[in-house]
Structures are given as structure tokens and as C-alpha cells.
Amino acid sequence: MERIRVLVVDGHRIFAESLATALTAEADVEAAAVGTAQAAFQQLERTGYPAYDVLLLDAELDADGALLTAVRERFPDLRAVMLAAADDARLAARALAAGARGWVAKDSSLARLLLVVRGSLRDETHVPPALLTGVLRELDRDRRHRSEHERLVESLTPRELEVLRCMLAGMGRKAVAERLFLSPHTVRTHMQNVLGKLGVHSTLAAVALARRAGIPPAE
């Protein structure tokens, strides 16, 4: 029998280890546990790909979606399921948008959790019925905001977009000038134009908007 390999990631280490033990008691599951997002990524890197099939991740531990995003880029075949202490439509929507396959309450039965874990391997997405309406509303709101951000970015000239991509890469004015063979004064003008067209008042806000619009940084 082919076993499902699960990595449990939860800030409450005792809970994580207890859940891993309960899962391993199943004939078709083998589980391990770690207590931080950093430890999870290190474990995935250290054991080699594909060491695990499913990542059970504490929703509060990855509220900003950083680990999910990194995992999706580095291990695209690894399914992620969120473990939640409480229902939160916004967090759930953010996790699903970042690639999670399910949202399960921590006080759910083991049978329910196994149903979601096994379903994730069939590319199913599981969300509690009581949370579904809120999640769909949040996903629709995010889609509309993304569309608006994309429209604003499309108003930039090709040169302004180049400058914005350099800003996304963390370059300062001097570095952008050297990269694009422009004078610092010209770069400053382009940056001001970018802020004006995007309707923001700082480089940080412009970068955040560009990320939400899906603009890649300069390489």
C-alpha cells in the first residue's frame, strides 16, 4: 500500500506531534511534525523532493501566506491544507488564493481531517459549508481589487513600468538609473509619475499595489 506522507506544521508543538502520531496510526499515512514555518521549509529542503505529499499548516502560523507561496514555487506537487483554530473567511480566502487545498478546524474529527487530506491528493478543495459564502465573497472582492490594480498598472508607459519593476526588486534611485542608463533626475521624474498614476503616496505603497497586480520584479 502506498502511504500518504504528511508534514504537520503548528506553533503548538505538542498538538503537532500528537496529530502526527494519530495520523501515523492510519494504515496508509506516515506523518512528521515541526513547530515553525522556517523549520517546515528546512525539513522539506533537507529531506528532498518529493519527501511529503501533504502539508498540514497552522493558519495563524502563515497568516501572510509567505510559506504557502514559497512552497508552491519550490514544491508545486505538494498539497497544502490549513489547520484553523477559528473560522476566518479572509484568512481562508487568502490561503486558497495562495494554493491551499482545504481549510479544517483544529477541533474537527480525525475522520474529517483524513477526508480532506485524501481529497487534496485528488485535487479536491474542501471548505466548511458555513465558511463557503464568506470565502467566495472575499475571493470576489480580491479579484475586483486585483482588476483595478491591473488597470492602474496598464496606465504606465513602458519606461515607467521598467522603473516600477526595478522598485519591486528593491533598487534605489541610483541603482535604477544605472540599470536603465538614465540620469537620477529622470528616474526621480519617472518614480513621481508612477506614484501619481497608481494613486499612491510612497514607493512602499506602489510596490505593494504592483505585487497585488501580479507584476514581477526586475531580474
Per-residue pLDDT of 101-150, as tens digits, reads 999 999 999 999 999 999 999 999 998 888 888 888 877 776 676 667 77
Q: What is the pLDDT of residues 197-207, one digit of tens each?
A: 998 888 888 88
Q: Are strands 102-105 and 4-9 parallel, antiparallel or unpaired?
A: unpaired
List domains and CATH numbers for the chain. 4-135 (3.40.50.2300), 155-212 (1.10.10.10)
- The predicted model scores a pTM of 0.65
Convert the pLDDT of each residue in 23-63 to its tens digit: 999 999 999 999 998 888 888 888 765 689 999 999 988 87
158-193 core/surface letters (b: 16 or more CB in 10 A; e: else)? eebbbbbbbbbeebebeebbebbebeeebbeebbee
